[in-house]
Amino acid sequence: MSFDLSRRLAERRAADLYRQRPLLQSPQGPQVVVDGQPLLAFCSNDYLGLANHPQVIEAWRSGAERWGVGGGASHLVVGHSGPHHALEEALAELTGRPRALLFSTGYMANLGAVTALVGQGDSVLQDRLNHASLLDAGLLSGARFSRYLHNDPVSLASRLQKATGDALVVTDGVFSMDGDVADLPALAAVANSRGAWLMVDDAHGFGTLGATGGGIVEHFGLGLDEVPVLVGTLGKGFGTSGAFVAGSADLIDTLVQFARPYIYTTSQPPALACATLKSLELLRSESWRREHLHTLIQQFRRGALERGLHLMDSFTPIQPIVVGSSARAMKLSRLLRERGLLVTAIRPPTVPAGSARLRVTLSAAHSSAQVQQLLDGLAECQALLEPEDE
């Protein structure tokens, strides 16, 4: 007996679900070169345009000259350097929490937090549309796993009645495929009323939401009591790489002791932490980036609705256009690319069957003219679909 990998791959191709990696041959930015083709990109999560910022690059270069290019060991051995510590303190200040803890990736931060907090005999309750890393963390924790209806505090309350042991409620802050935001005040009220903790993964909110870019918790004016566990990633609004968990001193101490993805991995390069410190400084001081970004979001939504495009309910940089079948989404993406526009088609299992979409993402680095170019291209490509594609 052997694994029939060829059959599995053929089935995925036949269903228009086969994935391929585009080869980026330029730095991140609105204008990129992918597979040798110059394109205007609307699919990056570099929401504030910091991934290729000259000051961030210089901070990384200077950090490497002083600290080298590798972490060298885990944080608990001899890999926790000065830049790591300074970044954790800055992230704690940004989030208004006593402490923060760096992780190498957002996936590891979510896995580490959930599995350190709940286990057998406990309960973890998650939004049905949570990111895969959150769902995997819940399943791997060994806790009783339950999924409530999307953004539905009534459904959450009903499921919490059946919870056992310590109960952890987990939600995305901004849902990465729909672009809508969690109703945190309502979810926090339900969790608190039943003695549960609320954990929020605000990967797509930091930098884009809140008066100072502090994310969805700042947007709603909530604090540590309402959201005890706050997760953020550094590869989106911050423009670099890595992730963190912010919370009470006891929470961070608990993660240091029990979060296996933190304990058993080499720390990120110290120079990367230097770069992130600079991007954090720019994120907070250059409010024009958020202002320009939200102007572009309004321009895009207004223009898309005028052209009859089916947008989802989102005021964030994530603006999905639902088109239905995977084949139709792939065709629209291909037509746009032929016109020099790069917009990724998102298909099952990332999104539910029948809801394949073009996931448009906007950045402060885009211009109004570039957004207009996208709108014109979308209208032209929509008109080229065959009747059977509708």
Would you list the DSSP string of 109-132?
HHHHHHHHH--TT-EEEEETT--H
DSSP letter at 311? B
Tokens standing for residue 122:
């406990």
> How far, CA to CA in Å, does 320 sit from each of 38, 113, 168?
23, 29, 29
Q: What are the start-end ranges of the H helices in 96-183?
A: 106-117, 132-141, 153-160
Catalytic residue among 75, 204, 278, 331: 204
Look at residues 259, 226, 224 and name the one whose alpha carbon lies nearest to residue 101.
259
Catalytic residue among 104, 133, 176, 279: 176
Question: Tokens 């991934």 sit at which residue?
Answer: 51
Whether 236 sits among the annotated catalytic residues: the reply is yes
Peptide bond into 27 cis (omega under 30): no
CB 354 within 8 A of CB 325: yes
Cα angle at 195 between 190 and 196, to 5 degrees? 70
Distance CA 317, CA 48 (A): 10
HSE-CB of 197 using CA atoms within 13 angstroms: 20
Whether 85 sits among the annotated catalytic residues: the reply is no
Look at residues 221, 216, 158, 160 and name the one whose alpha carbon lies nearest to residue 192.
160
Catalytic residue among 236, 292, 331, 366: 236
Query: Where is 240: in which H helix or E strand?
Result: none
Cα 227 from chain centroid? 18
Distance CA 209, CA 182 (A): 12
Which residues are marked as active site?
176, 204, 236
